Chain A
Amino acid sequence: MTRRPRWPRFFRTSVQDEVEGELAFHLEMATRELMEQGMSRANARVEAERRFGDSSSINAQCRRYGEERDRRANRAEYRHELQQDVAFALRQLARARSFTAVAGVTLALGIGATAAVFSALDAVALRPLPYPDADRIVNVQPTRKGQPTDPSPPEFFAFRGVPAFEHMAAAVLQAGTTMRIGDVPEMITGAHVSADYFAVFGVHPLIGRTFTTEEDVPGSNVAVISYRLWMNHFNGDRGVLNRRVEIDGTPHIILGVMPPSFDLTRGSEDIWTPIAFLPDDATKYGEHYLRVIARLRGGVTLEQAAAATVPAERELSTHLTYRTLSLTDYGVVVHRYRDGLVGDYQSLLLVLLGAVSFVLLIACGNVANLLLARGSARTKELAIRAALGAGRGRIVRQLLTESLVLAVAGAVGGLVVAYALQRVILAVSPEDVPRLDHARIDARVLAFTLGVSVLAALVFGLVPALRSARPHLQQTLREGGRGSLTRDRLRPILVAAEVALAITLLVGSGLLIRSAWLMEHVDPGFDPRGVLTARLILPAARYQTAAQVTRAYGAIRDEAARIPGVQAAALTSVAPLSGSSMQSSVESKERTIDDKSPQANLRFASSGYFAAMHIPVLAGRDIAATDNASAPDVVVINEALAKLLWPNIDPRDAIGHELAGVSRTKAPEYRAVVGVVANVHESGLDDKPAPEFYMPYEQTPDLMWPLIQRSLVVVVRGPSTEGSAEALVKPLSRAVARVDPSLPLTEAKSMNYFMRASLATARMNTVLLSLLGGIALVLAMVGIYGVVSYFVNQHVHEIGVRLALGATPLLIWRFVMRRGLAPIIAGLVLGITLSLATTSLLRQQLYGVSAHDPLTLFGVGALLLVIAVIAMYVPARRAMRVAPIIALNES
Chain B
Amino acid sequence: MPSVKDRLHGTLDALVLKTLTFGPRHGYAIVQWLREQTNDALSVEEGSVYPALYRMERDGWIDSDWGTSELGRKAKFYQITDKGRRQLRAETKEFASFVAAVAPLLLPA
List the interface of chain A (C-beta within 8 A of B). Answer: 1, 3, 6, 18-19, 21-23, 25-26, 28-30, 32, 51-55, 58, 61-62, 65-66, 68-69, 72
**Which of A21, A22, A61: most chain B CB closer than 10 A?**
A22
Write the chain A residue with the least CB distance to B45.
Answer: A53
Write the chain B residue with the least CB distance to A65.
Answer: B54
> Quick check: B55 and A65 within 8 Å, CB to CB?
yes
> Quick check: B47 and A65 within 8 Å, CB to CB?
no
Q: Digitize B56-88: 1 where CB-to-A-CB distance is under 8 Å, 0 elsewhere.
A: 011010011100010101111000011100000
B24 at the interface (CB under 8 A from A): no
Partner of A25, one of B57, B58, B64, B75: B75
> Quick check: A61 and B65 within 8 Å, CB to CB?
no
Known contacts A25-B73, A30-B46, A52-B45; A65 and B51 CB within 8 A of each other: yes
Contacts of A19 in B (CB 8 A): 50, 54
Q: Digitize B23-60: 1 where CB-to-A-CB distance is under 8 Å, 0 elsewhere.
A: 00011100100000000000001111011011101101
Interchain CA distance A152-B75 in the complex, whole Å: 94
Partner of B83, one of A1, A18, A61: A1
Contacts of A69 in B (CB 8 A): 54, 57-58
6 new A-B pairs (CB below 8 Å) besides A19-B54, A25-B26, A26-B46? A18-B76, A25-B28, A25-B75, A26-B50, A62-B51, A65-B58
Known contacts A6-B64, A53-B46; A29 and B51 CB within 8 A of each other: no
Partner of A72, one of B51, B58, B82: B58
Contacts of B69 in A (CB 8 A): 25, 29
User: How many residues on B have C-beta within 8 angstroms of the other chain's C-beta atoms?
Assistant: 28
> Quick check: B73 and A61 within 8 Å, CB to CB?
no
Contacts of B31 in A (CB 8 A): 26
List the interface of chain B (C-beta within 8 A of A). Answer: 26-28, 31, 45-48, 50-51, 53-55, 57-58, 60, 63-65, 69, 71, 73-76, 81-83
Q: Closest approach, in angstroms, between the C-beta of B81 and any C-beta of chain A?
A: 6
Interchain CA distance A32-B32 in the complex, whole Å: 13
Write the chain B residue with the least CB distance to A76.
Answer: B60
> Quick check: B51 and A3 within 8 Å, CB to CB?
no
Contacts of B26 in A (CB 8 A): 25
Write the chain B residue with the least CB distance to A55.
Answer: B47
Write the chain A residue with the least CB distance to B53.
Answer: A62
Interchain CA distance A62-B58 in the complex, whole Å: 10
Contacts of B65 in A (CB 8 A): 6
Known contacts A1-B82, A26-B27, A30-B46; A68 and B51 CB within 8 A of each other: no
- Smallest CB-CB A-B distances: 9 pairs: A53-B45, A65-B54, A69-B58, A61-B51, A53-B47, A52-B47, A58-B47, A29-B28, A62-B54
Interchain CA distance A54-B47 in the complex, whole Å: 8
Interchain CA distance A62-B52 in the complex, whole Å: 8
Known contacts A18-B76, A25-B26; A51 and B45 CB within 8 A of each other: yes
Contacts of B64 in A (CB 8 A): 6
A-B contact count (CB 8 A): 76
Contacts of A62 in B (CB 8 A): 50-51, 53-54
Contacts of A52 in B (CB 8 A): 45-47
- A-B CB contact pairs (8 Å), 23 listed: A21-B74, A21-B76, A22-B76, A23-B50, A25-B28, A25-B75, A25-B76, A26-B31, A26-B46, A26-B47, A28-B73, A29-B28, A29-B69, A32-B71, A51-B45, A54-B45, A58-B48, A58-B50, A58-B51, A61-B54, A62-B50, A65-B54, A68-B58
Contacts of B76 in A (CB 8 A): 18, 21-22, 25
Contacts of B73 in A (CB 8 A): 25, 28
> Quick check: A22 and B60 within 8 Å, CB to CB?
no
Contacts of B55 in A (CB 8 A): 65
Q: Closest approach, in angstroms, between the C-beta of A505 and any C-beta of chain B?
A: 55
Write the chain B residue with the least CB distance to A28.
Answer: B73
Write the chain A residue with the least CB distance to B29.
Answer: A29
**Which of B26, B50, B69, B81: most chain A CB closer than 10 A?**
B50
Contacts of B81 in A (CB 8 A): 1
Q: Closest approach, in angstroms, between the C-beta of A10 and any C-beta of chain B?
A: 14
Contacts of B74 in A (CB 8 A): 21, 25
Interchain CA distance A1-B27 in the complex, whole Å: 24
Known contacts A53-B46, A53-B47; A30 and B58 CB within 8 A of each other: no
Q: Closest approach, in angstroms, between the C-beta of A855 and any C-beta of chain B?
A: 72
Contacts of A55 in B (CB 8 A): 47
Interchain CA distance A501-B27 in the complex, whole Å: 68
> Quick check: B60 and A3 within 8 Å, CB to CB?
yes
Contacts of A18 in B (CB 8 A): 76
Q: Closest approach, in angstroms, between the C-beta of A58 and any C-beta of chain B?
A: 4
Write the chain A residue with the least CB distance to B55.
Answer: A65
Interchain CA distance A62-B54 in the complex, whole Å: 6
Interchain CA distance A26-B28 in the complex, whole Å: 5
> Quick check: B47 and A23 within 8 Å, CB to CB?
yes
Interchain CA distance A30-B71 in the complex, whole Å: 13
Interchain CA distance A65-B83 in the complex, whole Å: 18
> Quick check: B28 and A30 within 8 Å, CB to CB?
yes
**Which of A32, A54, A58, A72: most chain B CB closer than 10 A?**
A58
Interchain CA distance A6-B60 in the complex, whole Å: 13
Q: Closest approach, in angstroms, between the C-beta of B73 and any C-beta of chain A?
A: 7
Interchain CA distance A23-B74 in the complex, whole Å: 12
> Quick check: A66 and B28 within 8 Å, CB to CB?
no
Interchain CA distance A51-B54 in the complex, whole Å: 20
Interchain CA distance A18-B78 in the complex, whole Å: 13
> Quick check: B63 and A6 within 8 Å, CB to CB?
yes
Known contacts A51-B46, A54-B47, A58-B50; A3 and B63 CB within 8 A of each other: yes
Contacts of A22 in B (CB 8 A): 27, 50, 75-76
Interchain CA distance A29-B69 in the complex, whole Å: 10
Contacts of B83 in A (CB 8 A): 1
Interchain CA distance A28-B69 in the complex, whole Å: 12
Contacts of B48 in A (CB 8 A): 53, 58
Contacts of B27 in A (CB 8 A): 22, 25-26
Contacts of A54 in B (CB 8 A): 45, 47
Q: Closest approach, in angstroms, between the C-beta of A769 and any C-beta of chain B?
A: 58
